[in-house]
Amino acid sequence: MPQLNPNPWFFIMLMSWLTFSLIIQPKLLSFISTNPPSNKTPMTIKTTPWTWPWT
């Protein structure tokens, strides 16, 4: 069964992973986020329970 032979596919996977981790990932991580996280505390909204007519 040829799909169980890891010889050509392992090399392709390894090269793809190395390309991503060494070339593409540093370029992507160098971008500045357009929406940086803020230090604001989230507002809590007070909700009232629903009154069911049949209870």
Give 13-41 pLDDT, tens digit per residue.
999 999 988 988 888 888 877 777 778 78
Go through the chain and tell me how many residues it has: 55
5 or 1, higher pLDDT? 5
* Res. 3: pLDDT tops 70: no
Rg of the chain over CA atoms, in angstroms?
Answer: 26
- Distance CA(32)–CA(44), nearest Å, equals 30
Q: Write down the pTM of the prediction.
A: 0.46
**pLDDT for 2:** 59
Q: Which token pair is 43?
A: 């507002």
6 or 45, higher pLDDT? 45
Q: Which token pair is 1?
A: 């069964």
